Structure formats: C-alpha cells, structure tokens
Structure 1
Amino acid sequence: MRSLLDALYNWLTIKIVSDERPDDTAAAETKNLFERILKEDHGIGDIEIKKDDVMYTLHYRKDEEWKKTSFPCELIEVMINQINEEPEKYPNYPK
C-alpha cells in the first residue's frame, strides 16, 4: 500500500470492527495485516488514538518523530455501522 494515509485509514477502520467483534478472526487478521504494512512499509511505531464527537485523531511515531492525522468519525465508522445494521450479512468467523 503506497499511501500512508490510506494505510492508517484502513487500519483504523478495521481496528474499530475488530475491537467491537473480538471473536471475528477475519477482522483480527485484517487488522494485523495493516499493522504490518504500517510498520514494514511506512516505518510507523506507536499509535495513539483519541476520539471526540467528530474526529478520530491518530498520533504516531514515524522515523523517531511524532506526527498526527485525523479522520471524521462518520468515515471511520461506516463499516461497523453497516455490520451492526445488517448483522445477518456479516457473520463472525471465529477459529
């Protein structure tokens, strides 16, 4: 994945799903994939997440420097909201 912003967005979106659905191994595996991409392809270290009523803000370490980026909550929560609205379409796949 070439874009750091895309990787952060995808990681955060699936992290929210994985956190809410801890038995969903597909979500956990996908989250782990994006964590590897962030680390190996982009050199991202520690990530801290802060959420308010409007935005998720990520503080992360890249090349020993702390940086931040933000995403609207409604954008990040689209996937989990869709899953919660139509759970029959999104079964958990535990091991």
Structure 2
Amino acid sequence: MKSLQDTLYNWLTIKVVNLARPDDTAALETTELFEQMLTDEHGVSGLVITKEPPMYFIDYKQNGEVKRVRFSEELIDIMLNQIKEEPEKYVNYK
C-alpha cells in the first residue's frame, strides 16, 4: 500500500491530464484507479482540487475530518507538459 500522500500526488497528476484530455481513455481509467485506492485503502472522499499558482490544493474528507494538502504546480503539471511537448508519443487508443 502506498502512502496517502503518494496516492494523492499520483491521483492529482493524472487527474490534471484527464481534465486537459477528456477523450484520453488511459488517463480516465488511471484516474478512476487512484480514486478507488483513495477510497478503499485510505478512506478518502469528497476530493476537491483548487489551483492557486504556484500550488494545487486538494481538500478531502477522511474519517469525518476535512483535510487539505498542497503540491507545487511545477511538480503536478510535469506529465501534462510532457504530453503537450511530444503528443505523438501519447496517442489515445480507444
């Protein structure tokens, strides 16, 4: 089992890709996988993303308590930026 921090980071990174590329089935499936891990392994619900440069914030509930974590925009956007720079490497196979 990954730590909650790692799972939130991975979820946010792929969620940003999924939001930018709504037709990308791999991004959608991976987002759903991490959401399931957050729910099943960490008891997380109510995920809300807020972007206030230079940070992303995730608000969520865990064990009835509202919590917030933050990640740098540069760290989270790295995958999306890579896809934008080399789109031929990230073809969507439906």
TM-score bracket, normalised by the shorter chain, equals over 0.9
Alignment pair present for 1:93 and 2:93: yes
Contact 1:55 1:73 in 2 (8 A): yes
Structure 2 CA distance for aligned equivalents of residues 9 and 93 of structure 1 = 25
Once the two structures are overlaid, the 10-residue window that deviates more, 47-56 or 73-82, is 47-56
Contact 1:16 1:77 in 2 (8 A): yes
Q: Which runs of 4+ in 1 moved over 4 A?
A: none
TM-score, normalization by structure 2: 0.96
Equivalenced residues, count? 94
Q: Deviations over 1:30-61 (max 9, x none)?
A: 00000000000000010111111100011110
Matched residue, 1:31 = 31
Unaligned runs of 5+ in 2: none
How far apart are residue 24 of structure 1 and its match?
0.9
Letter in 1 for 2:90: Y
Matched residue, 2:5 = 5
**What is the Cα-based RMSD across aligned positions, in Å?**
0.7
TM-score, normalization by structure 1: 0.95
Task: Work out the percentage of aligned pairs sharing the same amino acid.
Answer: 54
